[in-house]
Amino acid sequence: MNVFGVDIGGSGIKGAPVDLERGEIAQERFKVLTPHPATPDAVADCVRQVVEHFGRPSGPVGATFPGVVVGGTTRTAANVDKGWIGQDAAALIGGRIGAPVTVLNDADAAGLAEMTFGAGRGRTGTVIVLTFGTGIGSAVFTGGRLVPNTELGHLELQGHDAERRASTRAKESEDLSWSRWAKRVGRYLAHVEMLFSPELFVIGGGVSRKAEKFLPLIEGVSAEIVPAQLENNAGIVGAAMAAAAAGSGPVAAT
Ligand code: BGC
């Protein structure tokens, strides 16, 4: 079955039909640049452009959002326009594209995809998927089941919001070497490990493509640490999975 997935990010809004048997996009994805300011209205228009590139949606559509999403309403907006706070995103986007829409947190979507088709496949203990980018996103699983909206990127680390110190954006804006950044990521992972004792960390976000540059430098963490496998398409795949699962009970990664 193919279901459409859209990944709403700080720099781009990209989507594609997803083959849910294989956990892969079924056609080359289409991307538009995120408008600035990324108001709900402007973003909803972009989602429509992305969806319409592939024709009229024939079924439910899934969309990610880089903030807390409860029952289709976006509750936080750390790195996007504050107009999203309290927005019924599912109704707004659904109305714009003329199809039912399921909205979920971007890291939760990436996590669902990794647990089913990628690095977390078959793992039943506590698994934490972390996405490093503009912010740090988190998805926590146990028994293959997601605890949504965990927001571990905003843990306090050495007196700072952790994502301000250890995201890829922090690496870029402070021009940190791989080893200095890996030290921060290591400290962050050790803190998360102290709180949750996961058996596995899956490291996602664009930086997962360069895992060999920093994963070997991470110290002081006992859990296994592996790079994500779906790379850039994890959000799109996870969004489609969530849309397919909507209505059939809580979302599980199996
Ligand atoms: C947001 C999270 C999001 C993460 C990655 C954080 O700033 O609070 O909801 O998952 O960035 O986009």
Nearest to 72 by CA among 39, 42, 46, 95: 95
pLDDT of residue 10: 87
Nearest ligand 1 atom, CA 138: 10
- Say if residue 252's pLDDT is above 60: no
Mean pLDDT, rounded, of the chain:
95
Q: What is the C-alpha separation between 233 and 12, in angstroms, rounded? A: 13
pLDDT in tens, 66-112: 999 999 999 999 889 999 999 999 999 999 999 999 999 999 999 99
* Intervals of CATH 3.30.420.40 along the chain: 2-106+233-245, 109-229
Are 124 and 115 spatial neighbours (Cβ–Cβ below 8 Å)?
no
pLDDT of residue 250: 43
Nearest to 90 by CA among 75, 77, 73: 73
Residue nearest to atom 5 of ligand 1 (CA): 137
Assigned fold of 109-229: Nucleotidyltransferase; domain 5 (3.30.420)
Position 222 confidence tier, pLDDT thresholds 50, 70, 90: very high
Assigned fold of 2-106+233-245: Nucleotidyltransferase; domain 5 (3.30.420)
239's tokens? 């969004």
pLDDT of residue 251: 46
Q: What is the C-alpha separation between 163 and 155, in angstroms, rounded? A: 8
How do strand 69-70 and strand 73-74 relate by DSSP bridges? Answer: antiparallel
What percent of the chain clears pLDDT 90, i.e. is strictly above it? 92
Residue nearest to atom 1 of ligand 1 (CA): 67
Nearest ligand 1 atom, CA 9: 12
Position 248 confidence tier, pLDDT thresholds 50, 70, 90: low
Nearest ligand 1 atom, CA 135: 11
**Ligand 1 site: residues with CB under 6 angstroms?**
66-68, 76, 78-79, 105-107, 131, 133, 135, 137, 151, 153, 163
pLDDT of residue 29: 97
The model's pTM is 0.96
Q: How far apart are the first and last CA of the chain?
A: 16
Nearest ligand 1 atom, CA 149: 9
CA–centroid distance, 153 to ligand 1, in Å, is 7
pLDDT in tens, 24-80: 999 999 999 999 999 999 999 999 999 999 998 889 999 999 999 999 999 999 889
